[in-house]
């Protein structure tokens, strides 16, 4: 009986793991003159449409540092419920904030060597800015799936161990919005459009406002 149970357990485990597939593809850009999308800041994720056995999302701890008046990394993708630490590694004070509801926040002024944290309880794109320095910006991209990644410098990406099912593949870039494709993951492979092109030609550069919704007193590039 015991032997049988062990065998049955092994069979169930192998049934779950053997059929999971690696999903890989690429992201390319359709640009107009002067546009230089940051290819490796493209976010790729799979939203399950019809799939069983998708692992629960596990919130994590992430870091976006203020360093040399920049937020690094510029784009971070996190599962729902994750916490992002925002250490200030500069000698000057910063005031990070977001008006992206319902994930909006205001960390107030804080000095070198101190860290403020924020937990992200809602899905979506969270634009993070500094109320002092208009050039500082970051995006916290909150997803509700365990299957997410960023593209590499060539636009290639891979998400490992995806259980069979139907998924909506999303590719997003800050200056092009998102492109989607429905894909099918099965034990015999992945079917669907895995190489996506993001059209950035309609994107216009705009200067965001400060936390009060007013223009910055310092112009971009001035401090």
Contact string 89-118 vs Cu ion (x = CB under 5 A): -----x------------------------
- Burial class, 202, CB count within 10 angstroms (exposed 0-12 / middle 13-18 / buried 19+): exposed
Q: How many residues bind Cu ion (CB under 5 A)?
A: 4
| Minimum CB distance to Cu ion smaller for 118 or for 133 | 133
Kindly report whether the peptide bond that precedes residue 18 is cis, defined as omega within 30 degrees of 0.
no
Residue of 21, 130, 140, 163 interacting with Cu ion (CB under 5 A): 130
Cα–Cα dist 187/164, whole Å? 7
Q: Is the Cβ of residue 132 or residue 138 nearer to Cu ion in the bound state?
A: 132
Q: Which is nearer to Cu ion, 93 or 149 (CB)?
A: 93
Out of 132, 151, 169, 196, point to the residue binding Cu ion (CB under 5 A): 132
Please identify, among the stretches 20-28, 72-80, 133-141, 142-150, the one whose residues bind Cu ion according to the rule CB under 5 A: 133-141
Distance from the first to the final alpha carbon of the chain: 75
Choices 32-40, 57-65, 88-96, 187-195; region in contact with Cu ion by CB under 5 A: 88-96
The one segment of 49-57, 127-135, 148-156, 185-193 that binds Cu ion by CB under 5 A? 127-135
CB of 127 to Cu ion, least distance (A): 15
64 is a site residue for Cu ion (CB under 5 A): no
Of 130 and 140, CB closest to Cu ion? 130
Residues that bind Cu ion (CB under 5 A): 94, 130, 132-133
């Amino acid at each position: 009986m015991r032997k049988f149970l062990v065998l049955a357990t092994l069979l169930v485990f192998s049934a779950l793991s053997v059929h999971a597939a690696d999903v890989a593809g690429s992201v390319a850009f359709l640009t107009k003159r002067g546009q230089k999308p940051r290819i490796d800041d493209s976010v790729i994720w799979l939203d399950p449409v019809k799939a069983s056995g998708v692992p629960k999302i596990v919130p994590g701890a992430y870091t976006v540092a203020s360093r040399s008046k920049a937020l690094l990394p510029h784009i971070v993708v996190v599962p729902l419920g994750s916490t992002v630490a925002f250490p200030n590694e500069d000698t000057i004070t910063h005031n990070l904030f977001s008006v992206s509801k319902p994930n909006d926040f205001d960390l107030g002024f804080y000095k070198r060597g101190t860290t403020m944290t924020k937990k992200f309880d809602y899905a979506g794109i969270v634009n993070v800015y500094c109320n002092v320095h208009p050039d500082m910006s970051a995006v916290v991209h909150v997803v509700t799936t365990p299957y997410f990644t960023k593209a590499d410098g060539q636009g290639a990406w891979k998400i490992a161990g995806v259980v069979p099912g139907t998924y909506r593949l999303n590719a997003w870039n800050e200056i092009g919005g998102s492109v989607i494709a429905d894909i099918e993951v099965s034990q015999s492979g992945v079917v669907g459009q895995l190489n996506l092109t993001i059209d950035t030609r309609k994107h216009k550069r705009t200067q965001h406002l400060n936390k009060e919704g007013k223009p910055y007193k310092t112009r971009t590039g001035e401090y």
